[in-house]
Structure formats: structure tokens, C-alpha cells
């Protein structure tokens, strides 16, 4: 890395809705800066940032890829983020650790769904931002229309810094709103362009845009505003300084037209990055915790080293790489690093400066740097790294909860033995994945942000760790209970050539409140069942209740009273009383009005108002109940309760129903009785499954 001065470092996340052209922009930036000698193409599967085999196979970005390079004496750490909602975790972590974001907007499509969600993240993290309108060389590209779309749906403070020269196939360059200089490109992907004056026919448009832009710029500096209002001609250096201040403080969001593949306007985007986007010294102070209270971490190069691990990746050659952003101080590779969260010290082997999958080594890192550190064994995403004696911790990265799940099962015994290690490593890399063994259904459930997300996770598990998994819809953790009181006897009597078996109990089952569990009550009088056999009877009851009677699901929320029975001095045993208790339970449960219960989920769906009716109608078709509708800015939040059995594919259905503009959260609420027709199907399916197992 060329510069070790924090004021000469820029960290940017390149973000967009999927397919807008982020990767092509990063590729062109690398080429124009001289970091690479030949520009790759997404279609040719040879770009620097899409190096993962899955990315090349699908021609989309899946991982956030760090590409560090130098331009005009500045070090730029650019992170190419995925655009699809399934990989929102990569977007969140990248935007959290960078000081600014470049929003790539498709010149044909304008502001799309994921762009709006990403803007919310930028606002939450107080990121400076600029817009790059891409693909203006394509048919139906509309720069003015997209600018209006940005100003309407994102911010009125987004203003053109350059205007395009020509449109669609005739798009050939850009003209500066501030200086009037034009930059005309060959449009063949080369770096060649020609500087000139404002093209004929664009004078009025440039002058109008200049006036609007300067009026917004001077708002960032009271003295400059007074001079401007007094009619004084402002020096370009004063305007540039005020613009940098306005952009860093999120008062202004520059818009730049471009086309990355023919390499038009990319140099101007790079110039805007170094001239106007904040250095780590200009960015807002980072909040952290120390001793139970909140503190602010100042970007002081002489303060103790503090950094945040925001990404973990397993490299097939290097091993585990921990990606860190430095927020305070400096560190050299001959020092040890202290994990504040874990209380562990780890030795640093090197700092790796990444450009896609390629890397180089550096001996020192300072405020603003983003690098990868190999082989930090205890460090995971969200950990604060510092020097020993420091207790300041950055807040954890808030990843969304998974919304889509599949049950997985190993295809062979060998796969089963390797599954645990493979899943653990995948979860270390991706904090939006979850894996659990469901205690009631015994399913191994892998959860994530969507079907593509899980498909890629399963593919990695197979390719990297040689674990082949089959998938299915997770089973619903139904439960069984009773609606009335019933009594029954269970007598187990077996005579053999030697000692026999004898156990006899009378049970009374009665319903209890939801969620109150199973209780066992001893009402034996007169010693008709000896005290030493009562625990065996209770054990037999609980074992039988764990598999239920209707469909083999756990029986819950009832009281069992043992009130009578008999025994044999020689033949009675604990085993006999366990079996007798199981028999009594099954008979009494069958006569006590048994019902099937299903989990009901609280679902909160955030959608534009136009889709509220569709969402409500869909819930009605899923046996759901609408609980309310609340406004949330330009969006509406539909709150509903819905059976879990109807929600397993809801992430895919909502995305399709709302053209990707809807999002939702879901959590368990309570259990309710399953309607008779649905219960009949569940019970019949369980019977078929038991029959297949017996066969």
C-alpha cells in the first residue's frame, strides 16, 4: 500500500440491486488505476472480484470481495458487495466498516428494491454516499429519468456532478457541472479520453445544474454561503473544500453518469472518490462499549490499536482469513493481537492486502485500512481486536435472522461423520446461516435468507468438505393434547417358564392450560401399588407421552393421576409397571378427546402500500389471521399470525408476490388446535410414514 497516512485512505462499499453493474465498475476502477493491465468481464467469468467458483458458475456476486489499490497517491479499499437479497449479510457487514458507499444504479431500471434497503443501511451507519448511474450506453437508458427517480425515492440532496454527453449508443463522455470541462472517451474499453470545453447544446443544462449544485454545496459552510449570497465569485478550491465537507456530512450525494464496460466516466468516479469521499479522519466517530458504558472511538493514529473483524473466509491455500477494519491506532506484524471479546492473544503472521483472490503482504496497518489476517484461530465475525489491556468493544454486527429453512440429512455414514465440522466452518463464514437439531422432530435444519442462499451453502459443503446432503421440507413440530378427563387401566401380565411379569395401574388424565407441560400425581392409598414402583409408572407414562397417540407427536399439557392398581409379590418389576403405565396412558388419552396442536407464528411483513392487499389475501389462503397494519414511512407493516406449516416457503412466495420489494420477520407465538380436515391429513401421513418404516 502506497500511503500510510490516514488522510490519504478511502474505504468504500460498492452496493446495488443485483445486476446493476457493481462488479464491472470495480473492474474498470482497477484497470484505470493501473492495478490490473487488462479489464475482465462478468460474462467471461474473469473479473477480479468474482473469483469464487459459485460466482463464476452463476455470473453473480455472492461474497463481498475486497479490492485494494492506489489511485493518485491515495489508497482505496473497495469492497464489491453482492446485490441479491439472499446475501444481505455481506452487504451489511461491508457497509458497517466502510466510510462511504457508491450506489450503482442501472440506467435502464432506475432505483430498484434492494437499492432502497441498502440506502436504509447507509443511513443507519451514517455512510457518505455517491451515485454512479451505469450502462448509459444501453438502449432505453435514461439519465434524467434515473436522477429524478433517485431524488424522489432516496434523497433530494442527490445532485449531478457530471452530465452525460450523448445517450444510449451515442453516449461517449461526461461534462463537469463544476468546471464545464468535457471528457470524451473512445468507448472501446481503453483509458483514452479527450478533454475539452462544454459541448455545443449543453451550455444551458450545465449552467442550470451548476447553479443548483453550488447552492447546495455552500450550505455546508456559513462563511462561503454569505460570500455566495453577496455575489462574490467563489474560488474552485473553496468550492471543492465545501463540497468535500457536504459529502462527508451527508448533506450532498453526487451523481456521476457512466458505462463501465466501454470505460466511460470511470476516471471521474475515481476522482470523486479521492476528492470528495471522506477519509477515516473525516468520518463520524465510531461508538463502542467500555466497562458497561458507551464510548466513542476517535480516529487517532497515536491511540491504542482498535479494529473490528467483519468477515471470515476460508482460503483453500492460506486457510482461515479474518478481515478487519482499523478504527484507531496502528499495528505492525511483529506484534501480538488481543481479542477483546474472547480474552485471547494471538500471534500475527502477516497482514494481507487483498485484490480479489490475489494478495500482497504489508508490515503495518493504520486507521482506515482494511486487510485480512491469516490464521487467527479464536476470532469470529463481530470480534473487536486490540492490544492487551484494552477493554473497548465495538457493538456486534446486527445480522437479520434466517427466514428460509430446509431439513438436511447425510447420504452416507461417512457424510454424517464429517457433517459437524463442515457446518461449523460454513457458519463461521456466514452469520446469516443457522443450523440446529430440532429436539422434537429430530430434523437437522439449515436456515438462511432464501433458496439461493441455502443452495450455495449446500454446494460449498459438498465441494469443500466432501459432505453430500439430501434436503427436504422440515417437519412441523406438532403436539398432541386432550380436551376432557378420562380414566383407563393398564395391566401387563406375562407368564413364562420361570419368573413372570406383572404390573397394573389405573390412570386418570385431565387437561391443563397451554404451555403448562405434563404433571404426574400420586393418589395411591393403602399400598395397592408399592412406592418403589411409582417412579417406574411415571417413567413409563412420560416415555409413552413423548411419542403421543394420534400421530406420534409429543403429548403435552395434561395431568396424570395414578389412583389404583395392583401388584404381585414375585412377578412385579419396574419394567412391568413401565409397560402397564404406557398401556394405561394410551387408552386414557384415546378416550380423553385427543387433538393435534400446531405452532402458530407471529409474522411481520414490510411492503409498499400497493402490495398490502395481495399480502393480506395470501395470509387468508394460508389459514392466517391479520392482526393489524401499521405505517412505516413509505412502507406498510402487515402483522399476522400464521401456522408454521404454511410458512416454510414464504420467503420465496413473498419475494415473487412483491417483485422483491417485501421483507418479513417471523417468530414463534403459541400452539393452537389443528382444524379437523388438516389434522386428518397429518395423522394419515404419520401413519403412512410408520408403515414405511416397518416395511
pLDDT digits (tens, 9 = 90+) for 139-195: 999 999 999 999 999 999 999 999 999 999 999 999 999 999 999 999 999 999 999
Of 189 and 690, the one with more pLDDT = 189
More confident position, 25 or 320: 25
Q: Would the pLDDT of 3 be above 60?
A: no
Confidence of residue 695 (pLDDT cuts 50, 70, 90): low
Q: Which of 568, 592, 616 is the last residue of a domain?
A: 592
- Predicted confidence band of residue 39 (pLDDT cuts 50, 70, 90): very high
Which residues in 484-634 belong to E strands, given as ranges? 486-494, 501-511, 518-522, 558-566, 594-608, 625-632
Residue 287 lies in a domain: no
Residue 636 falls within a domain, yes or no? yes
- Are residues 552 and 690 in contact, defined by beta-carbon separation less than 8 angstroms? yes
Kindly state whether residue 451 falls inside one of the protein's structural domains: yes
Q: Could you tell me what percent of the chain has a pLDDT over 70?
A: 99
Residues 443 and 511 in one domain: no
Same domain, 515 and 658: no
Of 386, 419, 451, which residue is a domain's last?
Answer: 386
Note the pLDDT of residue 676: 94
CATH number at residue 350: 2.40.30.10
Residue 121's Cβ-side half-sphere holds a number of Cα atoms within 13 Å equal to: 28
What's the confidence (pLDDT) of residue 158? 97
Mean pLDDT of 367-395: 93
The reply to whether 537 and 605 lie within a common domain is no
Model confidence pLDDT, tens digit, residues 520-573:
999 999 999 999 999 999 999 999 999 999 999 999 999 999 999 999 988 999
Q: What percent of the chain has pLDDT over 90?
A: 76
Segments forming the whole domain that contains residue 567: 479-592
Is 337 domain-assigned? yes
Instruction: Mark whether 49 and 156 lie in a shared domain.
Output: yes
Is 543 a member of any domain?
yes
pLDDT band at 1 (very low <50, low <70, confident <90, very high): low
Q: What is the DSSP string of 490-509?
A: EEEEE--SSS-EEEEEEEEE
Dist. CA 485–CA 489, nearest whole Å: 14
**What's the structural domain count of the chain?**
5
Q: Are residues 450 and 484 in the same domain?
A: no
CA gap 3, 75 in Å, rounded: 6
pLDDT for 413 equals 87
Same domain, 303 and 371: yes
Whether 445 and 519 share a structural domain: no
What gap in Å lies between CA 208 and CA 441, rounded to an integer?
67
Least trusted range by pLDDT, from 283-287, 413-417, 453-457, 644-648: 413-417
Q: The domain spanning residue 616 has which CATH number?
A: 3.30.70.240
Confidence of residue 621 (pLDDT cuts 50, 70, 90): very high
Pair (67, 191) in one structural domain: yes
Output Rg (C-alpha) for the chain, integer angstroms: 32
Q: Which pLDDT does position 673 carry in this prediction?
A: 96
- Structural domain includes residue 223: no
For helices 574-591 and 534-545, the axis angle rounded to 10 degrees is 50
Q: Are residues 527 and 670 in the same domain?
A: no
Say if residue 59 is in the same domain as residue 113. Answer: yes
Q: Are residues 443 and 505 in the same domain?
A: no
Q: Classify residue 104 as left (phi > 0), alpha (psi -120 to 50) or beta.
A: beta
Please report, for the domain that includes residue 507, its CATH number: 3.30.230.10
CATH number at residue 441: 3.30.70.870
pLDDT tens-digit readout, 467-507: 999 999 999 999 999 999 999 999 999 877 677 899 999 99
Rounded Cα–Cα distance for residues 83 and 59 (Å): 12
Question: What is the arithmetic mean of pLDDT over 283-304?
Answer: 90
Boundary-marking domain end, from 428, 444, 472: 472
- Of the CA atoms within 13 Å of residue 428, those in its CB half-sphere come to 20
Backbone φ and ψ of 232, nearest 5° = -70, 140
Q: Are residues 127 and 271 in the same domain?
A: yes
Q: Would the pLDDT of 618 be above 90?
A: yes
- Look at residue 78 and tell me if it is in a domain: yes
The verdict on residue 364 lying in a domain is yes
- What is the predicted pLDDT for the residue at 634? 74
Give CA–CA dist 249/261, Å, rounded: 32
- The per-residue pLDDT of the chain, averaged, comes to 92
What is the mean predicted confidence (pLDDT) over 434-451?
91
Specify the pLDDT at position 459: 92
Q: CATH number of the domain that 78 lies in?
A: 3.40.50.300
Total-model pTM: 0.86
Q: What's the pLDDT at 692? A: 79
Amino acid at each position: 500500500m502506497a500511503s500510510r497516512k490516514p488522510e490519504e485512505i478511502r474505504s468504500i462499499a460498492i452496493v446495488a440491486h443485483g445486476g446493476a453493474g457493481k462488479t464491472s465498475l470495480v473492474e474498470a476502477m482497477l484497470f484505470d488505476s493501473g492495478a490490473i493491465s487488462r479489464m475482465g468481464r462478468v460474462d467471461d467469468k474473469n473479473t477480479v472480484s468474482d473469483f469464487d467458483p459459485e460466482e463464476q458458475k452463476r455470473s453473480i456476486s455472492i461474497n463481498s470481495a475486497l479490492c485494494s489499490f492506489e489511485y493518485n497517491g491515495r489508497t482505496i479499499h473497495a469492497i464489491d458487495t453482492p446485490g441479491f437479497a439472499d446475501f444481505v449479510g455481506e452487504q451489511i457487514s461491508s457497509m458497517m466498516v466502510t466510510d462511504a458507499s457508491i450506489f450503482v444504479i442501472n440506467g435502464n431500471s432506475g432505483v430498484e428494491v434492494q437499492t432502497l434497503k441498502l440506502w436504509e443501511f447507509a443511513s443507519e451507519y451514517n455512510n457518505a454516499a455517491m451515485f454512479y448511474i451505469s450502462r448509459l450506453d444501453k438502449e432505453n437508458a435514461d439519465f434524467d429519468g434515473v436522477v429524478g427517480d433517485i431524488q424522489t425515492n432516496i434523497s433530494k440532496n442527490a445532485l449531478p456532478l457530471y452530465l452525460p454527453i450523448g445517450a444510449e449508443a451515442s453516449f461517449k463522455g461526461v461534462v463537469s457541472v463544476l468546471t464545464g470541462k468535457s471528457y470524451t472517451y473512445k468507448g472501446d474499453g481503453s483509458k483514452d479520453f479527450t478533454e475539452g470545453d462544454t459541448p455545443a447544446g449543453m451550455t444551458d443544462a450545465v449552467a442550470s445544474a451548476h447553479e443548483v449544485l453550488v447552492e447546495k454545496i455552500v450550505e455546508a459552510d456559513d462563511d462561503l454561503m454569505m460570500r455566495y449570497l453577496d455575489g462574490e465569485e467563489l474560488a474552485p478550491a473553496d468550492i471543492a473544500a465545501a463540497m468535500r465537507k457536504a459529502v462527508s456530512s451527508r448533506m450532498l450525494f453526487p451523481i456521476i453518469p457512466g458505462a463501465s464496460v466501454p470505460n466511460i466516466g470511470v476516471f471521474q468516479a475515481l476522482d470523486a472518490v479521492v476528492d470528495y469521499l471522506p477519509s477515516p479522519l473525516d468520518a463520524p466517530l465510531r461508538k463502542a462499549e467500555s466497562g458497561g458504558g458507551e464510548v466513542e472511538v476517535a480516529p487517532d493514529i497515536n491511540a491504542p490499536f482498535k479494529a473490528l473483524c467483519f468477515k471470515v473466509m476460508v482460503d483453500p491455500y492460506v486457510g482461515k482469513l479474518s478481515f478487519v477494519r482499523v478504527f484507531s491506532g496502528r499495528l505492525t506484524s511483529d506484534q501480538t493481537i488481543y481479542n477483546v471479546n474472547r480474552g485471547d492473544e494471538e500471534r500475527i503472521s502477516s497482514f494481507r492486502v487483498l485484490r480479489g483472490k490475489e494478495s500482497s503482504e504489508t508490515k503495518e496497518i493504520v486507521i482506515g485500512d482494511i486487510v485480512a489476517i491469516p490464521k487467527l484461530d479464536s476470532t469470529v465475525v463481530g470480534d473487536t481486536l486490540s492490544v492487551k489491556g484494552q477493554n473497548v468493544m465495538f457493538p456486534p454486527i446486527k445480522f437479520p435472522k434466517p427466514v428460509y429453512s430446509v431439513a438436511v440429512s447425510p447420504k452416507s455414514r461417512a457424510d454424517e461423520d464429517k457433517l459437524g465440522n463442515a457446518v461449523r466452518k460454513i457458519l463461521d463464514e456466514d452469520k446469516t446461516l443457522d443450523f440446529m437439531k430440532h429436539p422434537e422432530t429430530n430434523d437437522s435444519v439449515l436456515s438462511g435468507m432464501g433458496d439461493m442462499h441455502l443452495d450455495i451453502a449446500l454446494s460449498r459443503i459438498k465441494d469443500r468438505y466432501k459432505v453430500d446432503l439430501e434436503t427436504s421440507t422440515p417437519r412441523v413440530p406438532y403436539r398432541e393434547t386432550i380436551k376432557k378427563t378420562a380414566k383407563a387401566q393398564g395391566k401387563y401380565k406375562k407368564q413364562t417358564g420361570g419368573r413372570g411379569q406383572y404390573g397394573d395401574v389405573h390412570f386418570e388424565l385431565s387437561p391443563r392450560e397451554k404451555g403448562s407441560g405434563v404433571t404426574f400425581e400420586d393418589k395411591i392409598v393403602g399400598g395397592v401399588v408399592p412406592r418403589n414402583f411409582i417412579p417406574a409408572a411415571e417413567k413409563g407414562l412420560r416415555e409413552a407421552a413423548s411419542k403421543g397417540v394420534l400421530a406420534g407427536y409429543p403429548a403435552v399439557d395434561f395431568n396424570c393421576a395414578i389412583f389404583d392398581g395392583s401388584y404381585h409379590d414375585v412377578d412385579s418389576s419396574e419394567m412391568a409397571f413401565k409397560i402397564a403405565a404406557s398401556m394405561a396412558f394410551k387408552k386414557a388419552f384415546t378416550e380423553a378427546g385427543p387433538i393435534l396442536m400446531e405452532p402458530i407464528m407471529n409474522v411481520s411483513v414490510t411492503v409498499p402500500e400497493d402490495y398490502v392487499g395481495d399480502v393480506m389475501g395470501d395470509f387468508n389462503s394460508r389459514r392466517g389471521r391479520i392482526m393489524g397494519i401499521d405505517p412505516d414511512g413509505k412502507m406498510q407493516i402487515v402483522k399476522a399470525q400464521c401456522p408454521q406449516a404454511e410458512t416454510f416457503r414464504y420467503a420465496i412466495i413473498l419475494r415473487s408476490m412483491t417483485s422483491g420489494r417485501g421483507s418479513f420477520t417471523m417468530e414463534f407465538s403459541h400452539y393452537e388446535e389443528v382444524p379437523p380436515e388438516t389434522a386428518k391429513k397429518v395423522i394419515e401421513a404419520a401413519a403412512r410414514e410408520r408403515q414405511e418404516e416397518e416395511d
